[in-house]
Amino acid sequence: MSYDVKRIRDRYPALATDTVFLDGAAGTQSPLEVIEAIAGAYRAGTSNGGGRFATSARADAYAAAARQGIADLVGADPLGVVLGPNMTTLTYRFARTLADTWAGGDNIVVSRLDHDANIRPWLQMAARSDVEVRWAEVDLADGTLPVAQYDDLVDDRTRLVAVTAASNVLGTRPDVRAITDLARSRGALSYVDGVHSTAHGVSDVVAYGSDFYATSAYKWVGPHVGAVVADPALLAAMRPDKLASSSDDVPDRFEWGTPSYPNFAGVAAAVDHLAGLDDEATGTRRQRLVTSLTAAQEHEDALAADLLAALDADQRVTVYGRAPRRTSTVYFTVAAFTPAQIAGQLAAAGVNVWDGHNYAYEITAALGIRDSGSAVRVSLDHYSDAGDVARLLQGLADLR
Ligand SMILES: Cc1ncc(COP(=O)(O)O)c(C=O)c1O
């Protein structure tokens, strides 16, 4: 295994500036490969897909390459990769389609840990169909999502269990497999939000046991493209609203309107880049992704451990989220400063961090911090380094 963060950082033009990017959970920077792939697609001439000329064939090839890239990234079948503008839009689309099959007396299970994009669409559809909503609660002491509660929550009238593979604020990685297994055993479908988790470590939809797995390329160095990944046979059994004139094939029937084909070129380039993070990784692209993302996760986890140790040593700091299985995302407050003041002063020092609920709307309320500005979120990504952490800590030491 060989992880050279300096070599990786050199691929990112934005990282050559004086700004410290610790805001990746809201969107990462992109390497030259991605920037060039998108620019190259525009430079070569763009067209809509499905035509008889070369630029149109190229557009179709970009879409196929994006599907294959995401399939390799999450261990799926490319024919089960639905592409769309972002996770939220796709989740509303899937929620509408699935809710068409729900009836009064059914129930769904959502989790308090999730980003609102994997809660609100389900709640709104449930309200329209007179479907009961059941909540999986978080252990507020450590930010874990206890699995045992699902045994009571899921029954043979449960139609859907929505759960995150990682919290975008607390970093918690729930035991997704235990939850999807239970859902399946009681006849419910599972919808797993992989938007935060895909950027941190290896994703494997077979290991997750998810019926649907959602991800967004802009969280893992790609452009603004979202995807929902499912078994093509499951997609074939679903009837989304669609135009009469558009393809009824799977996965195309879920894809509305004309997409950004040049962005699809960027998705494939992002996956290639991730596969090369470990410069000694060998084998198929999937194998290289597994090696590289494992190495990247070790790198991120080491940085997070250093950051958490420093924050723990600071009497002013409260860290939220102490799950044993977590991503490298750190969420905290500093006594005597609001999260907005902290993020503002860090911004003035050239350090980008987010403050606020970050759409983790339910868990920040449950923690009792949403109304006071929630907390500050620091994202450590595969391109982050010890210098970034040092600049952050200096900024926190300088708070006035
Ligand atoms: C965990 C998680 N889920 C869902 C979303 C929504 O993703 P998108 O912006 O692709 O709609 C986000 C975005 O921040 C997220 O972090």
Q: What is the 3-state secondary structure (H, E, C) of 58-106?
A: HHHHHHHHHHHHHHHHHCCCHHHEEEECCHHHHHHHHHHHHHCCCCCCC
d(CA 268, CA 88): 21
List, for residues 125-151, the tens digit of each pLDDT value: 999 999 999 999 999 999 999 999 999
pLDDT above 90 for 1: no
Measured in whole angstroms, how far is the alpha carbon of residue 40 from the centre of its chain? 26
| Spacing, Cα 170 to ligand 1 middle (Å) | 14
- Are the CB atoms for 74 and 213 separated by under 8 Å? yes
Atom of ligand 1 nearest to the CA of 90: 11
pLDDT in tens, 164-193: 999 999 999 999 999 999 999 999 999 999
Q: Which atom of ligand 1 is nearest to the CA of 224?
A: 10
In the reported structure, the alpha carbon of residue 349 is separated from the centroid of ligand 1 by a whole-number distance in angstroms of 27
Q: Which atom of ligand 1 is nearest to the CA of 88?
A: 11
With bands split at pLDDT 50, 70 and 90, how would you rate the model's confidence at 2?
confident
Query: Which residues form the pocket of ligand 1, taking CB atoms under 6 Å from any ligand atom?
Result: 26, 86-88, 115, 117-118, 164, 168, 193, 195-196, 216, 226, 359
Q: Which residue type is seen at 198? A: T
Task: Please name the amino acid found at residue 194.
Answer: G
Q: Where are the beta strands (DSSP E) in the chain?
A: 20-21, 81-84, 107-111, 132-136, 158-164, 189-193, 212-216, 226-230, 317-320, 329-334, 351-352, 354-356, 375-379
Closest by CA position to 194, among listed 222, 223, 221, 162: 162
pLDDT at 311 over 80: yes
